[in-house]
Structure 1
């Protein structure tokens, strides 16, 4: 992941490349990928599926600052925050682009939009990897990995008729590690640094408070 951050993340261009350098004139044929010009789609451009997986990788390592930075870097809306960005990106800022070009004169231009599976992966990277919200069986698992500077955040989950108002608190300024969890005021057991809470199908409204902090080795 350190090599990815060093060699493939181009912050000035808002890109996370699939690999570098692109295939161009090579003695061996790597296959169809070389059918794209250098820097276009899989041939050394940003392939957004893999960029989303990189976000999830940083989160899995507990590197919340890196995960959130990369999410913001490739977020389509941030490609068009200026007039110059709009003219460069050239595609819709409200949907995911499957790819973003990396070689002049097309650096930063978006590729295919609307029908890319990377939209789902970006959604999962944000909701599951960074905000840490997943559903496993009949349980709600909360395991955020956020920038250490975040004081916390709030979110609302509506699931099978029930509403969960969730508050994440980060008094110690950490990226990861659940040290306490409450469901409707009742303390809940923790498992491996995350909260696992029972989901209730009762059409009611429930309050969840999760506190992050520095985990103490047993």
Structure 2
């Protein structure tokens, strides 16, 4: 399978021997025993991660570089990806605060230093999604971390009624790159630390 852009995400479903490859805003589903490659399909944004649901391989979760809906779920029994997702949800990053004039340092009054400081502030603004940010799905839960340190766990067990609950929210002092659901635990890392939370003792 050839793509017109660099491939950024890949997943394999052993249940039906399908490879999912994503490049830009397009994703292709290729059967290993196919005689011809499948055409790619366009979704609503750049795909950064692809997940095959561990309990239901007919459910494919995409992580998208989208302002509000970074997680999009597709039920492959209803067709391919060239349609509206079965479910979509996400979180909008909190903007990086800019200090008020009264608290700005002398560097802010120096044109050169100010330009450097401004560039630094803009570069530290949390991104909505990158190819390195990755969430995790298990049973009816999906967990994902963000650049503002927030880790969210959604419950989509009532997805047939288009109801997705934000079940848990955790906070880290640094941005989150990778989040994993393991049994009743949520594990996240970013910067120089790994954080563990238990869903059993957390408040919903």
Compute the TM-score of the two structures, normalised by the length of structure 2.
Answer: 0.26
Bigger share in strand: 2
Bigger share in helix: 1
